[in-house]
Chain A
Amino acid sequence: MILAGIGVGLVWLGGSILVLSDARRGLAVGLLLSALGLSMAVTAQAGPVEGGLLAGGGLVAVVAGLRHDPRRGWGLLQGPSTPRVILCVVMGGAGLWLGLGIIDSPGQPEARAAATTMIALGASRLFSEREARSGLAAATLVALGAGALAAMSSATPAAALAGAVAAVALNLLPTPAEEGLEGG
């Protein structure tokens, strides 16, 4: 219970760092913290295999993202940051509310809340983002969260593996160097 609660907190902290970052180090740390938090929550309630797969997927995704993202540094709170701070609070709260109060399954409330919080934060960043690399990092949060929910719903580690594979694949994708300029 305590482990799962700490996991939910880590998911929110990592997701918020990802929402507030515009460079590879910030995105990587945010993604890693979120993946570890999710893994803790899922391990406490679904099993170590599922949790390990999600943590492993997150870790490999972080490494792949670091290698592909050319923007060095942390990039935290660059430009007008107030809307993003609000996004972290509102979407984090909405994800938590959805997981604890609205849906009754799959799995235990804490693990479910960790997954829905991760999806909510990832989706909020994805929909407010114009840059492809940050968008893919945000999509990775959604993939890991959906993988965790699928693992709890189907009671098989294969679904967690699917989430981990999707997370890695998203970060391995090459992106157009200059968006909006290429045609063909």
Chain B
Amino acid sequence: MAELAFGLPAAGAILVSLLRRRGPLPLLFGFAFGAAGLAATALVAPGVQGALFGLQLAMPAPARVVLLASFGAAALVVLLVPPGADRTPMLASVLAGLSALAAIAVVAEPLVTVLVLLLLAAIQSALPALRPFSERVRAPVFGALLVALGALLAEGASSTPILRVSGLALVLGTTAAIGLAPYLQQLDPREPAPASPVAWLAFIGPGLAVLLSTRLMALLPAEAGQAYAGVLLGLGVVNLGLGSFGAWRSRSGADLWRYSFLGDWGLALVGLGLLSPIGAGGAYLLLLTVLLLRLPLYLLARPALITGRPAESLRPLTLLVAAALFGAAPFAGFAARLLILRAATAAPWPLTVFLVLVMLSWLPPSLRLAQTLGRPSGRLAFGVGVVTLINLGLGLYPNWVLNGLGVR
């Protein structure tokens, strides 16, 4: 069943690409193969070992939950495309991304994961976009190479300094592939979403973070764990601080969105770096909100970001969206932040104080972010309502997700 989780979306992506000029046929095939991939993922038993031509396959529980959420996010971004836009290229891209994510979640051999990452980076960089191929391919391929180096060092090394370098390479490689600071890229709302950095930051990134915290971390022995956690915490704090500072300083809506993704990622990295099940639960929940709230909202805001016309007044829907983006109760961001804070209390107190201050600093930028949606009406308002309701559901019943993640 695990091989179907990546085989079906891959077949769907190829079919959609081949039939892209045949009217509604590619959409039908794409949705059918995507739904079949979703069903296959839902039926995979987490942690159960399998094999495909001798390659070990197993899907950890957090990877399964995040992959299911990625399927949900893919459905949202395809169904809620702005009026007049063509769904077919978006569908082909998300199916290719889902196939890669499923392969990354399932294949146990880290070097095969690197191959998948490399191929995905090349495919994404070959899409028509505003930035040149060389600029787009650099960070993810550099990330893939660092992950390969980290995995090779972890497999063969016996001395502690080399194991520490291995942990460093694994963390830096994953963050480079996602596109976090110090590998942050410009976000231009005019660039097609599948080719823009948001594809890595918000769609592929959560799957890579789970890969790091489950499979890649398992390569390291216990004595390298502290260095690994230290790098994760350090990068988390840097991204958190940069996100918060950048959001306050940013003038354009696109910059504000970019820093908002960065802020969430900083918190998620801190949650993973605390090396506790509670912190990891909070981090995974936050990654689900990136997938199911922040990504669809950014895509819904893109038309208004291109025209540069934010809403001047605050309407009830805008306030609701701002509350969800800020992580206010009862939305999912609140539960995630609470879990991370709870885990952080086990660390020295300045970290907790820093986290609280940074979380609170997001209130005004969240209002500005919600205003970048303009005045939602019609399909846009429906889309905003749907993603807000999904986030509310996650916030009201986080235990359901946390049980699935296996972190309770």
**A42 proximal to B (CB < 8 A):** no
Q: Considering the complex, which residues of chain B in the window 43-71 have a beta carbon less than 8 Å from any beta carbon of chain A? A: 52-56
The chain B residues found within 8 Å of chain A, CB to CB, are 52-56, 109, 111-112, 114-116, 118-119, 122-123, 125-134, 137-138, 141-142, 145, 148, 152-153, 155-158, 162, 190-192
Are A176 and B53 within 8 A (Cβ)?
A: no
Chain A residues positioned under 8 Å from B116 (CB to CB): 166
A153 to B108, CA, bound (A): 11
7 A/B residue pairs, CB under 8 Å, sorted by A: A135-B137, A146-B114, A149-B148, A150-B115, A154-B55, A154-B112, A166-B115
Out of A106, A119, A139, A159, name the residue touching B55 (CB < 8 Å).
A159
Out of B109, B118, B126, B155, name the residue touching A166 (CB < 8 Å).
B118
| Residue interface mask A144-165, B partner, CB < 8 A = 1 | 0011011001111111011100
Q: Which chain A residue lies CB-closest to B145?
A: A123
> Taking A146-B148, A158-B54, A159-B112 as contacts, is the C-beta distance between A127 and B138 under 8 angstroms?
yes
**Residues of A contacting B: mostly:** helix
A135 to B114, CA, bound (A): 17
A-B contact count (CB 8 A): 129
Distance in Å: Cβ of A103 to nearest Cβ of chain B: 5
> Taking A135-B137, A146-B118, A166-B118 as contacts, is the C-beta distance between A130 and B132 under 8 angstroms?
yes
Are A182 and B129 within 8 A (Cβ)?
A: yes
Distance in Å: Cβ of A109 to nearest Cβ of chain B: 11
Are A126 and B137 within 8 A (Cβ)?
A: yes
Q: Considering the complex, which residues of chain A in the window 60-106 have a beta carbon less than 8 Å from any beta carbon of chain B? A: 102-106
The chain A residues found within 8 Å of chain B, CB to CB, are 102-106, 119, 123, 126-127, 129-132, 135-136, 139, 142-143, 146-147, 149-150, 153-159, 161-163, 166, 169-170, 173-176, 179-180, 182-184
Out of A123, A131, A161, A184, name the residue touching B141 (CB < 8 Å).
A123
A123 to B192, CA, bound (A): 27
Distance in Å: Cβ of B213 to nearest Cβ of chain A: 21
Chain A residues positioned under 8 Å from B123 (CB to CB): 173
Are A136 and B155 within 8 A (Cβ)?
A: no
Are B119 and A166 within 8 A (Cβ)?
A: yes
Q: Which chain A residue lies CB-closest to B133?
A: A132
Chain B residues positioned under 8 Å from A174 (CB to CB): 126
Chain B residues positioned under 8 Å from A146 (CB to CB): 111, 114-115, 118, 148
Q: Which chain A residue lies CB-closest to B132?
A: A179
**Which of the listed residues A170, A174, A184 has the most CB atoms from chain B within 10 Å of its own CB?**
A184
Are B152 and A136 within 8 A (Cβ)?
A: no
Chain B residues positioned under 8 Å from A169 (CB to CB): 119
Out of B53, B133, B152, name the residue touching A158 (CB < 8 Å).
B53
Chain A residues positioned under 8 Å from B162 (CB to CB): 102
Are A176 and B111 within 8 A (Cβ)?
A: no
Chain B residues positioned under 8 Å from A129 (CB to CB): 134
Are A104 and B157 within 8 A (Cβ)?
A: yes
Chain A residues positioned under 8 Å from B125 (CB to CB): 132, 135
> A103-B155, A127-B138 given. 19 additional CB < 8 A pairs?
A103-B157, A104-B158, A130-B133, A131-B134, A132-B125, A135-B125, A135-B134, A149-B148, A150-B111, A153-B109, A154-B56, A154-B112, A157-B54, A158-B52, A158-B53, A169-B119, A174-B126, A182-B128, A184-B192
**Which of the listed residues A149, A169, A173 has the most CB atoms from chain B within 10 Å of its own CB?**
A149
Chain A residues positioned under 8 Å from B122 (CB to CB): 135-136, 139, 170, 173
Are B155 and A105 within 8 A (Cβ)?
A: yes
Out of B126, B131, B153, name the residue touching A136 (CB < 8 Å).
B126
Q: Which chain B residue lies CB-closest to A149?
A: B111
